[in-house]
A = this chain, B = another copy of it.
């Protein structure tokens, strides 16, 4: 069977194969992900991931940037939404649910005082993030609720944001 005939086009065999490998050799589950960022002058920079096109970054003019690209806190919301999309696709396919359409609206509240140096001991980050998921799928409300619970409970970016993560930043 070609992957294109799979439900939601998801290659569940690959996911199941990886899960099988992890059960045989648990260390396979320990992964390291990487990116390299290069400063391009002013508030512009770009993130290189493997051989893909760089992810460009800038700040709006009101924040001192030249507004040529999404800013880092917007990129973070994008990463969360993209992660949830993978989660819905994977878990829906595993449950035999066809997704007709899926879009995800994300919004985060952030107070700029600490970033601007006006509240040095404050929280520069998101105070909270709200996510509205618009899912049109061939399933009962109960199936959708179960699907939703599975996605929220297993989202790598969701868990990263909801938990305090040790971030070790060194000048080398």
| Given A49-B70, A70-B49, A114-B154, A39 and B78 contact (CB-CB distance below 8 Å) | no
Given A79-B75, A169-B133, A154 and B117 touching (CB < 8 A)? yes
Number of copies: 2
Complexed CA–CA distance, A158 and B83 (Å): 19
Which single residue of chain B is at the shortest CB-CB distance from A89? B43
Q: Check B125 against A158 for contact (C-beta < 8 Å).
A: yes
The A interface is mostly helix, strand or loop, or mixed, namely mixed
Q: How far is A18 from B116 in the complex, measured between Cα atoms in Å?
A: 8
Which of A10, A31, A62, A148 is most buried by chain B, counting CB atoms within 10 A of its CB?
A31
Within the assembled complex, what's the spacing in Å between the Cα atoms of A123 and B153? Answer: 9
Query: Does A171 make an interface contact (CB < 8 A)?
Result: yes
CB distance from A168 to the nearest CB of B (A): 5
Q: Does B72 contact A79, Cβ atoms closer than 8 Å?
A: yes
Complex CA–CA separation, A12 to B64 (angstroms):
6
Most buried by B among A43, A71, A94: A43
The residue in chain B whose Cβ has the minimal distance to the Cβ of A128 is: B166
- In the complex, the answer to whether A170 meets B63 with C-beta atoms within 8 Å is no
Question: What residue of chain B has the Cβ atom nearest to residue A162's Cβ?
Answer: B167
Chain B residues with CB below 8 A from A81, complex form: 35-37, 45, 47
Which of chain B's residues have a CB closer than 8 A to the CB of A161? 125, 160-161, 165, 167
Task: Give the complex CA separation of A120 and B156 in angstroms.
Answer: 12
| Chain B residues with CB under 8 A of A99 | 39
In the complex, whether A138 has a CB less than 8 A from a CB of chain B is no
